[in-house]
Amino acid sequence: MSDETGGAPKAASTKQVVHSSASSLTIGLCLVLGGGVIVFLARVLVSTGTGAGSSLFLFIGGAAIVVGVVQLVIGVYQLADNIDRTAKAVINGQLR
């Protein structure tokens, strides 16, 4: 009860934390596009007959695509969570 009447500032609620979804989305898109370019170049190397090391390129490109998709999913989730929190704040009249 003394905490409610005291002048001590309250700690920020975890519901007020806003995630930075733009960075996750940007990293995810860059990794997916970069991985796609690497896989495309590996396929071009194989088709031209100079495919030495193309399996390494395929592995790196595939791994970049997988990590990029995971980052995109995280970014979309954070964006949806931010939109949901904003909508709830607007409905409750907490947004100024």
pLDDT given at position 1: 43
Interval 31-81: pLDDT, tens:
999 999 999 988 888 888 777 778 888 999 999 999 999 999 999 999 998
> Euclidean distance between the first and final Cα of the chain, in Å?
29
Two structure tokens written together for 79: 């964006």
Query: 0.75 exceeded by the pTM?
Result: no
Quick one: CA dihedral 81, 82, 83, 84, positive or negative?
Answer: positive
pLDDT at 14 over 50: no
pLDDT given at position 38: 93
Mean pLDDT computed over 11-39: 81
pLDDT at 92 over 70: yes
